[in-house]
Amino acid sequence: MKEGYPITSFGIVANPHKDETKRIVPELIRWIEERDLSFALSEELVPLVGYKEKSYPVPDLHDKIEALIALGGDGTILAAARAIGVDNVPILGVKVGGLGFLADITPDELPQTLDKVKAGRYGLSERMTLETIFNAKAYVALNDIVIDKGASPRILDLSIRIGGKFVNTSTADGLIIATPTGSTAYSLSVGGPIVHPRMEAIILSPICPHVLANRPMIVAGDETIEVTIETARGDVKLTVDGQINYALQQGDSVIVRKGSSSVKLVRASSRTYYDVLRAKLKWGVREG
């Protein structure tokens, strides 16, 4: 984990639909202003807190701030990572909501954490991304890229090549291609392995495979994955980080490789990665 550096300019993004946002964001702005620091916020927050003169679309924040504070669940952080994290802007995730692995702290821990960040007493966890190329356009994912059958009850035949070499044709409901960060997301729910986020690897996890011998695979992070829709008996979709969706057709090929940029997550708490796993996955917890 890399050492941090003093931060004096913060960006703020938050899920405007969460009740806590209207309370936490004004408190956060007040903390920043009391210390004569600067801030900018996403334009979605203006109806809640004002400061229109300091608001911008999220992708435009990167050259106005030194770090981004993302308040919400993993979805908020994933969206921020795609929009601005790949521009080398560190992201501090604040957990507001339910289950999530990406946020480092709770709202109650925010003031003391920001004191650490202001002083440079924090670490940076660098996370690998994936890039998919479809229809001559590139999309970046921090968690995963998924090809699945959508609402159709029919399974898919997916031809998989790794590094240009044919691997197999997977007959399944779909395929999850995940980063180590995404190994604790959708991939985990279909039996994929947990992979430490410092590793550079790509995880391929079939969704409900027709043949039980078709198991999850971990391949080197510098490999190129090509998935071709061989047989589609209904709708097929490509999903990036669970948030961006595109329709696929029989014969389409999707290429996935390691992204050209990583995402830096601020780590200022004393909790380790294994502490988070124990808490989120309830390891060692016995039902009474």
Q: Is 108 exposed, middle or buried (0-12, 13-18, 19+ CB in 10 A)?
A: exposed
Q: Which residue reads 């899920």 in tokens? A: 15
Contacts for 82 with CB less than 8 Å, ≥ 6 apart: 140, 141, 142, 240, 241
CA 153 to the chain's CA centroid: 28
Contacts for 20 with CB less than 8 Å, ≥ 6 apart: 71, 96, 107
Q: Distance between CA 239 and CA 111 in Å, rounded?
A: 36
Of 166, 219, 157, residue with least CA distance to 192: 219
Q: Is 221 exposed, middle or buried (0-12, 13-18, 19+ CB in 10 A)?
A: middle
Contacts for 144 with CB less than 8 Å, ≥ 6 apart: 130, 176, 177, 178, 179, 182, 185, 186, 187, 241, 242
104 is catalytic: no
| Active-site hit among 36, 60, 74, 222 | 74
Under a CB-based contact definition with an 8 Å cutoff, are residues 144 and 182 in contact?
yes
Phi (first) and psi of residue 149, to 5 degrees: -85, 5
Q: In this structure, which amino acid lies at residue 121?
A: R
Under a CB-based contact definition with an 8 Å cutoff, are residues 86 and 131 in contact?
no
Under a CB-based contact definition with an 8 Å cutoff, are residues 227 and 147 in contact?
yes
- Return the active site residues: 74
